[in-house]
Structure formats: C-alpha cells, structure tokens
Amino acid sequence: MKKGFCCGTFDPITVGHVDVIERASRLCDKLVVGVVVNYAKESFFTLEQRTEMVKAALKHIKNVEIVSFSDHLPTYVMNNGFDFIVRGLRNVSDFDYEISLAQLYDHFFKGTCETIYIMTKPEYSYISSSIVRTNFSLDADVTGWVSDDVYKLMKEYKNK
C-alpha cells in the first residue's frame, strides 16, 4: 500500500491547496494531510480551527486522513512509514524554498521517503493563505479562493 503525506499550516486551506491534495490523493492508496504548528509563524486561526477547515475542504476525497501535530516533521514522517511527502508549488519563489527543505528532509529520510512536487494549476498560482487572510481581515470578498465550507467557517470563527 502506497502511503503519502502532505502537510501545511493551512491558515486557511485554499482552493490551490485542495487542488494539489486532490491530485496527490490519486498517487497513493492513502494520503495523510497534516495540519501543523509552524513555530516561525503566528497563525490567524487556531490549530483546531485550521484542522476543522481542512476536514471540511477535503471531505469529498475518500482516501484522505486528516491529522494535526506539532512534532518534528521528518521524525513524524519516519515514524509513520510514509513512502513520499507532497509539496505544492505555485511559483519560482516556492521552488527556491522547497528545494532547500527537500534537501534537509533527505538528510533525515536517508532514502526511505521521497519528496515530490505538484504544481498548482495556473488559475490558483496567485492564491496564498496570506493573501486570503489579509483580504478576509479587511472584509474583502475571498469567495473562490477558499471553498464555500471553509469560507463559512472563517466567518464563524471571525465573529466569535
């Protein structure tokens, strides 16, 4: 059984994330999507809220399991026997960052797990979680950048 892993802060999960995850789910029997704590960033939404949004956005994908964690990513991957991890790319800047990350991961994986990249579709290449957050915070319309279910949750969380 091929087992893949895709993770991110998903603050919030965008249609670009969903696109990458849908395509990655076709590459394996099981795809685990990890909602992570990024200690280098201050999240707009809590880990629990982000996890709920990811579950709502991905409920249509049958072979996906959602987890949340704050562990060391390579250790988590090694302890859970993943065949590969998936990273999404929107542009050259993403690639510059991701290639360094893949090289770091390879130090830990020692050939037991591969990093694969999936390019977002061009129509999603300008959408990032930070763009969604900024516009949402200013009460701008972010429909089309996140799923309807996620947008509903975002509004609910904002009004709490």
Give me the residues paired with residue 75 across strands: none
Q: Is the pLDDT of residue 158 over 90?
A: no
Q: Is the pLDDT of residue 91 over 90?
A: no
Query: Among 35-44, 71-80, 149-158, which stretch is predicted with the lowest mean pLDDT?
Result: 35-44
Q: Is-catalytic flag, 93? A: no
Q: Taking the domain 3-158, which CATH number applies? A: 3.40.50.620
Average pLDDT on 139-150 reads: 95
Domain segments of the chain as ranges: 3-158
Q: Is-catalytic flag, 17? A: yes
**C-alpha separations of 144 from 74, 127, 147, 149 in Å:** 33, 10, 7, 11
Q: What is the structure's pLDDT at 62?
A: 97
Q: How would you list the strands of the sheet with 30-36, edge to edge?
A: 64-69, 30-36, 3-8, 84-89, 114-119
- Tell me which of 41, 72, 121, 158 is the catalytic residue: 41
Q: What mean pLDDT, rounded, does the chain reach? A: 94
pTM for the model? 0.93
**Pairwise CA distance, residues 137 & 17, whole Å:** 20
